[in-house]
C-alpha cells in the first residue's frame, strides 16, 4: 500500500459527516427495528432485552452492507484508505519489537517496514492533528536514519510490502 497525499480539510469534513451518518443510522435503525420486534413478538410478561439486542444487530448488519457497497465511492475513498492504513499500522505495531531488534542487526526489510510505519504514522497524525507524539516520532526517525547510515543502506517507502512482516 503506497502512501499518498490526502487533503486534510476534505478528509476531516468527509470523515465528520460519515461519523455523524453512522451514529444517526445506528440510533434510528436500532430504535425502529427494536420497536418493530417488540411490537411483533413481545408479550407483557417477558423482558425485551433480546428484541433490543436484535435491533442493534440489525442496525450493525445493515451498516456493514451499506459500507461494503459505498466504500469504493470517491467521497469515502480517503476514509477507506486511512482505515486500511491504520489496520496495516496495527499489524506493524504488533511486530514492532522484533522489527527494531532486526534493524539493529542490519536487516533491510526491518528498516523498510519501520520507515513505512513512521511515515504512515506521521500522515495519520497530521490528518488527525495529533501533535503530542510527533517529537517521539522524530526521535525514532532519527534513530532509523542513524541505523541506515551505520549499515550504509538506502531505502524507500515504496519498497514496503506487507508480506515482509511475515518474517517477524
Residues 99 and 138 in one domain: yes
Q: Which residue has the cell 413478538?
A: 41
Are residues 84 and 156 both part of a single domain? yes
Q: What is the mean pLDDT of residues 16-44?
A: 96
43 and 89 belong to one structural domain: no
- DSSP tally for the chain: helices H, then strands E: 6, 0
pLDDT at residue number 46 = 85
- Residue 2 forms part of a structural domain: no
**CA distance linking residue 149 with residue 136, whole number of Å:** 20
How does pLDDT run across 63-99, given as a tens digit for each residue? 999 999 999 899 999 999 999 999 999 999 999 999 9
**Among candidate residues 19, 40, 70, the one where a domain is terminated:** 70
**Residue 157: what pLDDT?**
80
Residue 3 belongs to a domain: no
Shared domain check, 88 and 43: no
The yes-or-no verdict on residue 48 having pLDDT over 90 is yes
Domain of 39 in residue numbering reads as 8-70
Answer yes or no: do 88 and 162 share one domain: yes
Instruction: Please indicate, yes or no, whether residues 88 and 157 belong to a single structural domain of this protein.
Output: yes
Q: Which of 24, 51, 70 is the last residue of a domain?
A: 70
**Cα 87 to Cα 158: distance, rounded to the nearest angstrom:** 18
Total-model pTM = 0.84
- 8 A C-beta contact, residue 14 and residue 75: yes
pLDDT digits (tens, 9 = 90+) for 129-155: 988 889 999 999 999 999 999 999 999
The domain total for the chain is 2
147 and 102 together in one domain = yes
**Domain shared by 124 and 161, yes or no:** yes
Residue 153 grid coordinates: 543502506
Domain annotation covers residue 50: yes
Q: Does 64 share its domain with 91?
A: no
Q: Is residue 98 part of a domain?
A: yes
Amino acid at each position: 500500500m503506497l502512501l499518498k497525499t490526502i487533503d486534510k480539510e476534505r478528509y476531516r469534513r468527509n470523515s465528520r459527516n460519515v461519523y455523524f451518518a453512522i451514529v444517526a443510522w445506528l440510533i434510528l435503525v436500532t430504535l425502529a427495528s427494536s420497536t418493530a420486534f417488540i411490537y411483533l413478538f413481545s408479550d407483557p410478561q417477558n423482558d425485551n432485552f433480546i428484541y433490543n439486542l436484535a435491533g442493534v444487530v440489525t442496525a450493525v448488519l445493515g451498516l456493514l452492507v451499506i459500507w461494503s457497497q459505498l466504500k469504493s465511492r470517491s467521497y469515502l475513498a480517503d476514509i477507506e484508505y486511512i482505515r486500511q492504513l491504520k489496520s496495516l499500522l496495527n499489524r506493524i505495531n504488533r511486530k514492532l519489537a522484533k522489527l527494531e531488534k532486526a534493524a539493529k542487526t542490519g536487516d533491510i526489510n526491518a528498516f523498510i517496514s519501520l520507515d513505512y510505519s513512521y511515515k504512515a504514522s506521521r500522515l495519520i497524525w497530521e490528518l488527525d492533528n495529533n501533535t503530542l507524539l510527533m517529537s517521539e516520532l522524530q526521535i525514532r526517525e532519527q534513530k532509523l536514519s542513524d541505523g541506515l547510515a551505520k549499515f550504509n543502506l538506502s531505502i524507500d517507502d515504496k519498497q514496503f510490502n506487507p508480506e515482509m512482516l511475515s518474517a517477524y
